Amino acid sequence: MTYRSKSDRIRVFLVLFFGFFIWGVIVFRVFSIQILEHQKYKKIATGQHLIRMNLEAKRGIVYDRNMKVLAFNLPTHSFFAVPKKVEEKDLVAEKFSQLAGCSKEKVKNKLKTEKKFVWLKRKTEKEESEKISSWNLKGVFFRKEIKRYYPYYPLAQDILGFCDIDNQGLAGVEYRYNEILSGENGEGIFLRDAFGNSYFTEEYPITPPISGKSLVLTLDLNLQSILEEELKKAIKKTDSDEGTGILMNPKTGEILALAFCSNKKESTFPVKNRAISDNFEPGSTFKIVCSAAALEQGIKRPEDKIYAEKGVFNIKGKILHDHKPHEWITFKEALVFSSNIGIAKVTLEVGKENFLKYVKKFGFGEKTGIDLPGESKGFLPSSSKLSDYTLSVFSVGQGVSLTAIQLITAYAAVVNGGFLMKPYVVKKVLDQNDKPEKKFGPTVRRRVISERTSRILVDFLKDVVSRGTGMEAKIDGISIGGKTGTAQKPDLVNGGYKDGEYIASFVGFFPVEDPKIIGLVTLDNPKGKHFGGQTAGPAFKSIVSKIFSLQKTPFASSEKVIIEKNSEKDVEKDLYSGKELSKEKLLKVPDVTGLTAREAALILSSYDVDFRLSGSGIVANQEPEAGTLISREQICVIKCEPK
């Protein structure tokens, strides 16, 4: 009896011990889960129905030079589904397939995935969003996103470019400056409340997005609008296939307007910028290179006579024609009246090596370095393959291919005193508070020709419009200079050239005395009249007329004080002889202190001030002082010191 009682007590003790132990473990585990590791298991439990998504950063704004908004952001709704929560997959698939323009099966397959969420329709318009919300579909949610918006679309689309659905730049400025504009995305966790709205939960850390920086372009929206409008009119009037136009500040390289227009209806944003990527044969606009080389090398003077062979020039058995026959003409008239034979004869005197040197100095055969993606460098023939005949046709713009941006940049060097500038489209980068963070200014690539040669060529180009092939670009009361171009289109399939197909072009600048804008118009395959002077020239005239009709023209101010003393004929005579101009000019010396030596040289040259540089680095002193009136004979001494 005593033994059994002891044994029973041990068994009871063990049962109680293990019972309390097990219950203790359970209680401790519950305590641990509910108290000690509450947050951990809460996240695990709720994480099964929460969705981790990026928080999209606000993309920077793009402004024109006058701070007009060209690209900004709008809030929008994007709809997604959590497949496990979608009860009526057929209905959801049917509804969204109609909106997305795809098959019902494609949407349904999305809903069969094991993913936590799938996109159904992103960045909807307001009406779409309201329509989808009214369906009240279970398992379908929305989140707020940002949509890129271009208020003046399609104006300036070639420069601006566009973004993809994730607001990443794919073309133009949007692509080139994507890293600056895009900012940094954050991260958040989303769920659905009782009203079907999505929101972030405060229990979980969220990385806030950092907004992108903004850009101020060199573009002038008014000039862009004029350029595109007149370019479209010219294409329609001449029944051309397409056309390109550029307006630039010749002294700085700032792109004021740039456009490509086509007869074909474009339903999407352009992927490439045709003004900087497409190559074409320039025709007679290329004659400026030979003219510059002959003047720089002292081979020709403007008044030198050339026999133009009555329009038919036999070059070792091959014939070069003029569109209009001439006998004796001056070197100047060879350019003014666009004589192929006159320019070819001058080029043969210049020689192929010398000619190629100036072709390259003007920037042909290399990229301009413009801050836009997709630039082409064009094509130059090899020196070894240039016979007298091929050199002759090369000099008049055949057998060479270039881009519109190369051509206008070369002409800018002709009219700005001889400096080849780097074209650019972005003036400033603004921080998130719209304060200037970085500025971009003029960049001189190299000096191409002397100031004297520049002045002579400007006079040539003025006569092209006043009495030469560009007379249809003339406007009473406005001094315009320019050059016409007409080139047969090459047949890239069969070789040779296409019959009856041409590229017509006109490069013009104004006012001649102090060019503020230089422009280029090209028309592809105009029907009927096809010469550049008949088609592109009048288009340029219309553009200039519209610009001058603006209330505020960009040409009113000038720092130069000019005192007339002699007649125009005397001035022209002295200009051609290489002597100092008889027409005395009193020039106001600009302030260049604090600038780099290169920047100072560019500015002084643009004001026609003769100068001498000493030292290197930053301008520390200038004599005479800024604001002093000096004659053309006086020299401004610029002293530079290291940074």
More confident residue, 323 or 551: 323
SS (HEC) of 125-181: CHHHHHHHHHHCCCCEEEEEEEEEECCCCCCCHHHHCEECCCCCEEEHHHHHCHHHH
Asked if the model's pLDDT at residue 301 lies above 50, the reply is yes
Q: Using 50, 70 and 90 to split pLDDT, how confident is the model at 51?
A: low
Helix, strand or coil, per DSSP, at residue 253: coil
Same domain flag for 142 and 249: no
* Average pLDDT value over all residues in the chain: 84
Look at 193-197, 350-354, 481-485, 638-642 and tell me which has the smallest mean pLDDT: 193-197
Asked if the model's pLDDT at residue 187 lies above 90, the reply is no
Asked if the model's pLDDT at residue 447 lies above 50, the reply is yes
Q: What percent of the chain has pLDDT over 90?
A: 54
* Residue 304 burial (C-beta neighbours within 10 Å; 0-12, 13-18, 19+): middle
Q: What is the pLDDT, as a whole number, of residue 553?
A: 46
Which amino acid is located at 91 in the chain?
A: L
Same domain flag for 92 and 192: yes
Same domain flag for 484 and 572: no
Dihedral, CA of residue 344, residue 524, residue 163 and residue 267, to nearest 10:
-170
Which DSSP category does 65 fall into? T
CA 125 – CA 107 distance, rounded (Å)? 20
Over range 592-600, report the average pLDDT: 69
Which residues are marked as active site? 284
More confident residue, 95 or 203: 95
Is residue 205 domain-resident?
yes
Q: What percent of the chain has pLDDT over 70?
A: 83
Is residue 46 domain-resident?
no
Which amino acid is located at 599 in the chain?
A: E
Same domain flag for 454 and 506: yes
Asked if the model's pLDDT at residue 111 lies above 90, the reply is no
Look at 383-387, 545-549, 601-605, 613-617 and tell me which has the smallest mean pLDDT: 601-605
Asked if the model's pLDDT at residue 273 lies above 90, the reply is yes
Same domain flag for 306 and 357: yes
Is residue 287 domain-resident?
yes
Judging by DSSP bridges, how do beta strands 611-614 and 636-641 pair with one another? parallel
Same domain flag for 449 and 575: no
Asked if the model's pLDDT at residue 454 lies above 80, the reply is yes
Over range 434-456, report the average pLDDT: 95
Which DSSP category does 123 fall into? S
Look at 56-60, 458-462, 472-476 and tell me which has the smallest mean pLDDT: 56-60
Q: Are 392 and 315 in contact (CB under 8 A)?
A: yes
Percent of the chain that is helix, strand, coil (3-state, to 5): 35, 25, 35
Asked if the model's pLDDT at residue 27 lies above 80, the reply is no
Asked if the model's pLDDT at residue 512 lies above 50, the reply is yes
Look at 104-108, 149-153, 463-467, 530-534 and tell me which has the smallest mean pLDDT: 104-108
State whether the Cα torsion 395-398-402-406 is positive or negative.
positive
Which tokens go with 563? 């005192």
Is residue 300 domain-resident?
yes
More confident residue, 593 or 436: 436
Domain end marker among 550, 573, 588: 550
Asked if the model's pLDDT at residue 196 lies above 60, the reply is no
Q: Using 50, 70 and 90 to split pLDDT, how confident is the model at 576?
A: very low
Q: What does the DSSP assignment read for 277-346? A: H--B--GGGGHHHHHHHHHHTTS--TT-EEE-GGGEEEETTEEEE-SS--SEEEHHHHHHTT-HHHHHHH
Within 8 A by CB and 6+ apart from 442, the residues are 251, 252, 253, 254, 421, 422, 599, 602
Which amino acid is located at 139 in the chain?
A: G
- Give the domain extent around 6: 2-36
CA 471 – CA 544 distance, rounded (Å)? 14
How many domains does the chain fold into?
4
Same domain flag for 586 and 608: yes
Over range 461-465, report the average pLDDT: 97
Q: What is the pLDDT, as a whole number, of residue 7?
A: 72
Global confidence as pTM: 0.77
Over range 221-243, report the average pLDDT: 95
Is residue 352 domain-resident?
yes
The winner for highest mean pLDDT among 11-20, 477-486, 609-618 is: 477-486
Q: What is the pLDDT, as a whole number, of residue 599?
A: 59
Over range 316-330, report the average pLDDT: 94
Asked if the model's pLDDT at residue 587 lies above 80, the reply is no
User: CATH number of the domain that 453 lies in?
Assistant: 3.40.710.10
More confident residue, 234 or 195: 234
Is residue 269 domain-resident?
no
CA 343 – CA 395 distance, rounded (Å)? 7
Q: What is the pLDDT, as a whole number, of residue 21?
A: 73
Is residue 268 domain-resident?
no
**What is the H or E stretch that residue 186 is in?**
strand 186-192
Q: What does the DSSP assignment read for 327-396? A: SEEEHHHHHHTT-HHHHHHHHHHH-HHHHHHHHHHTTTTS----SSS-----B---GGG--HHHHHHHHT
State whether the Cα torsion 495-499-501-502 is positive or negative.
positive
State whether the Cα torsion 474-478-479-482 is positive or negative.
negative
User: CATH number of the domain that 146 lies in?
Assistant: 3.90.1310.10
Burial code (b: 16+ CB inside 10 Å, e: under 16) for 498-514 equals eeebbbbbbbbbbebeb
Q: What is the pLDDT, as a whole number, of residue 308?
A: 95
Which tokens go with 269? 């944003």
Q: What is the pLDDT, as a whole number, of residue 616?
A: 67
Same domain flag for 138 and 104: yes
Within 8 A by CB and 6+ apart from 152, the residues are 70, 221
- Residue 198's DSSP bridge partners are 192
Same domain flag for 116 and 201: yes
Residue corresponding to tokens 């315009």? 480
* Nearest one of 423, 411, 497, 483 to 454, comparing CA atoms: 411
Cα of 77 vs its chain's centroid, Å: 31
Helix, strand or coil, per DSSP, at residue 414: helix
**92-105: per-residue pLDDT in tens?**
888 888 887 788 78
**Contacts of range 298-304, beta carbons closer than 8 Å, 24 or more positions apart:** 299/346, 299/349, 299/350, 300/331, 300/346, 300/349, 301/331, 301/576, 302/330, 302/331, 302/332, 302/456, 302/459, 302/460, 302/576, 303/330, 303/331, 303/332, 303/576, 304/330, 304/331
CB atoms within 10 A of CB 98: 11
Q: What is the pLDDT, as a whole number, of residue 577?
A: 43
Q: What is the pLDDT, as a whole number, of residue 350?
A: 97
* Nearest one of 561, 548, 578, 550 to 631, comparing CA atoms: 561
Q: What is the pLDDT, as a whole number, of residue 205?
A: 54
Q: What is the pLDDT, as a whole number, of residue 571?
A: 38
Over range 449-470, report the average pLDDT: 97
Which tokens go with 160? 């601006």
CA 342 – CA 615 distance, rounded (Å)? 44
Asked if the model's pLDDT at residue 564 lies above 60, the reply is no
Same domain flag for 492 and 523: yes
Same domain flag for 197 and 254: no
Q: Using 50, 70 and 90 to split pLDDT, how confident is the model at 579?
A: very low
Asked if the model's pLDDT at residue 600 lies above 80, the reply is no
Q: Using 50, 70 and 90 to split pLDDT, how confident is the model at 366?
A: very high
Which tokens go with 562? 């000019």
**399-444: per-residue pLDDT in tens?**
999 999 999 999 999 999 999 999 999 999 999 888 999 999 999 9
Is residue 144 domain-resident?
yes
Q: Up-side HSE of residue 356: CA atoms within 13 Å toward CB?
A: 13
Same domain flag for 546 and 566: no
Which tokens go with 292? 């510059």
Q: What is the pLDDT, as a whole number, of residue 381?
A: 92
Which DSSP category does 564 fall into? -
Q: What is the pLDDT, as a whole number, of residue 31?
A: 66
Q: Using 50, 70 and 90 to split pLDDT, how confident is the model at 465?
A: very high
Residue corresponding to tokens 């006998």? 327
